[in-house]
Amino acid sequence: MSEDGEWFAPKRYGYGTGLPISWEGWAILSGYIALVIIAAVLFRYQTFQLIATLVPLTIAFLVICARTTRGGWRWRWGEDE
């Protein structure tokens, strides 16, 4: 893990996370994308199972992003910090 614990940059405008700024952030993002693709292929014709898989996966990903974003999640108006 990075020494400072910051894996993602904050968005300049709005609320949430921007792009990853460390290898851990890129690894988490790549893993999330890979798992979404795998789930989509496995549950192609099973909509309920796909949703039941993607919802907790997405919630876990968003929690990780929120906890590892520099400065946390808050509304930003584009000013430099």
pTM of the complete model? 0.83
In the structure, what pLDDT confidence band is assigned to residue 78 with cuts at 50, 70 and 90? confident
DSSP calls for 20-41: E-SHHHHHHHHHHHHHHHHHHH
Q: What pLDDT, on the 0 to 100 scale, is given for residue 30?
A: 97
Question: How long is the chain?
Answer: 81
Q: What pLDDT, on the 0 to 100 scale, is given for residue 2?
A: 47
- For 24-38, what is the mean pLDDT? 97
Average pLDDT along the chain: 90
Task: List the one residue out of 58, 66, 4 whose CA is nearest residue 31.
Answer: 58
Q: Return the domain boundaries, the chain.
A: 8-73
Is the pLDDT assigned to residue 1 strictly greater than 70? no
